[in-house]
Amino acid sequence: MRASRLIGGLVVLALVAAVALGVAQSLQQDGDGTGSDTETSGPRVPAPTPTPQPGSSEPPQPDLARFYSQQLTWEPCRGDFECATLEVPIDYKDPAGETIELALLKDPADQLDQRVGSLVVNPGGPGAPGTSYAENSSFAFRPVLGDHFDIVGFDPRGTGDSDPVDCISDAELDDLVATDPDPDTPEEGQAYQQSYEAFFQGCVEGSDSLVGHVTTVEAARDMDVLRAALGEAQLLYFGASYGTKLGATYAELFPDKVGRFVLDGAVDLSIDSRQLSLEQAGGFEVALRSYVQDCVGDDGCFLGDSLDEGLATIQDLIAQVEDKALPTSLERPLEVGNAFYGLVAPLYNRDYWPILDQALESAIDNGDGTLLLRLSDIYESRDDDGTYSDNSAEAILAINCLDDPWSITADEVAAQLPAFEAASPTFGDVFAWGLVWCHGVQTRATDTIGEVDGAGAAPIVVVGTTRDPATPYQWAVHLADQLESGVLVSRDGDGHTGYNSGNDCVDEAIEGYLVDGTVPPDGLEC
């Protein structure tokens, strides 16, 4: 879950790449990063087009033949990468109707003589651009995958450069992100609800007919068209966070087309939106406690001398910012909404805990909210000039609320607070208010599926991390159980998702499966 942009309810499916890559790139621009170096020895020679595998272009129904038989035209882009577009129908129930073009980006395999195939990747969100994920593949994936695979990312329909939905202006989005995510009065609660009603009204007014066809089911159908265009008889796939929901949905729709699948940072598809939100609130509480405990375990922790004292210090800071915004050097003050997102963003990756130390200490000791505001901006893909580099903060709501429009009203939140506060004393109220978000959705999905079990699919490796904030560990356990061919791999650690997080056991299990087809033992603990 995208590591998501906005938090609350199912809308928090957060994207691993958006936060991790955003923080890393920001630090690299400042000269402080430690990410992979990009080679600048000259443009890469275009990779040869592989011969399509037998049966790869066979459509699931005759009226989709023209989409399944299309050939991709790859052209150099963004430096050493290759880009193309894929044509798909807006409505799969009307293949002769309107179409859209999906943006694709390929990072060709470095060792062509060892090439296994095309690995389609999705970073989560929903709403995060898959082209950016593939563009940053040297950061997101270890070299062994780049050696053996063309890593292909696509911007799912309604996101990135694939006819992005547009719901509100950049200034309005600034206000929405900055607003108090935990309203204090009935009047504030009604205003909070109305802001999301206005958001969805804007989606209808500011976007074309695609806004009613950005479901996960339709994106999964797009992936099968992409598989065919890549010439693969079976889809090779790595999905992170929300990308696990997308991958599991694909397995339900096209089980015979499932190749080597890895679903990392899994979403539990068997529970409803309220339960997802409740358990995710608990996930962020666990992650925050792990961060605080790490600090207070050393002498001189700026948060205090104990876990409870450290948590109280952070909670007091958020309350102070709610009462009065903190000044920054970024032309905008730190509002309470930004403080919240600035706090949770570094919880996605343990390597960024020192950044959170700096941000919190600066705010607590010096009354300076600059670093927390910068982290919030990275989380939301906001650039320094006030524009947003992608539409993920809007797409996540449009997609999630089309997938599942369930919601409550502002007046009904009070009844939810006890359960959410018990699950997360720090974040519970925010997640309870997130249940309001889909209240104003004005479109309804026309393409849906029922229970997901992927019956008949090849082995699907599901990865869970014990202290994952955005996709709690039990979600991976449950998804592996739900999928008939699910294979569970567990990482004992902090941060969102398990692959390329410093655990050789996890990395080797995933790479052994993707590269060699060696299925890890079910229940592997790393």
344 closest CA partner among 353, 331, 333: 353
Please choose, from the candidates 486, 481, 491, the residue with its C-alpha nearest in 3D space to the C-alpha of residue 525.
491
* Residues 6 or more apart in contact with residue 78 via CB below 8 angstroms: 105, 135
CA–CA dist 226, 199 (Å, integer): 31
Could you tell me which of 88, 151, 123, 84 has the C-alpha nearest to residue 1? 123
Rounded to whole angstroms, the Cα distance separating 317 from 361 reads 10
Q: Indicate if 351 belongs to the active site.
A: no
What is the layout of strands, in order, in the sheet containing 75-77? 75-77, 81-89, 99-107, 149-154, 117-122, 235-240, 258-264, 460-467, 486-494, 524-525
Residue 241 designated active-site = yes
CA angle 154, 157, 160 (to 5 degrees): 60
Of 372, 524, 461, 214, residue with least CA distance to 380 = 372
**Catalytic residue (choose from 4, 137, 162, 241):** 241
Contact predicate 251/454, CB 8 Å: yes
Of the candidates 356, 287, 224, which has an alpha carbon nearest to the alpha carbon of residue 494?
A: 287
d(CA 13, CA 398): 13
**Residue 228 burial (CB count, 10 A):** 26
The interaxial angle of helices 353-366 and 370-379, nearest 10 deg, is: 140
516: number of Cβ within 10 Å: 11
Per annotation, catalytic residue among 148, 213, 478, 496: 496
DSSP strand pairing (149-154 vs 235-240) = unpaired
Dump the DSSP string for 271-337: S-HHHHHHHHHHHHHHHHHHHHHHHHTSTT-TT-SSHHHHHHHHHHHHHHHHHSPBP-SSSS-B-HH
195 SS3 class: helix
Cβ pair 199, 168 in contact under 8 A? yes
The CA distance from 496 to 16, in Å, is 6
404 catalytically annotated: no
Given 224, 453, 468, 494, the catalytic residue: 468
Alpha helices, H only, 353-406: 353-366, 370-379, 392-403
Catalytic (active-site) positions = 241, 468, 496
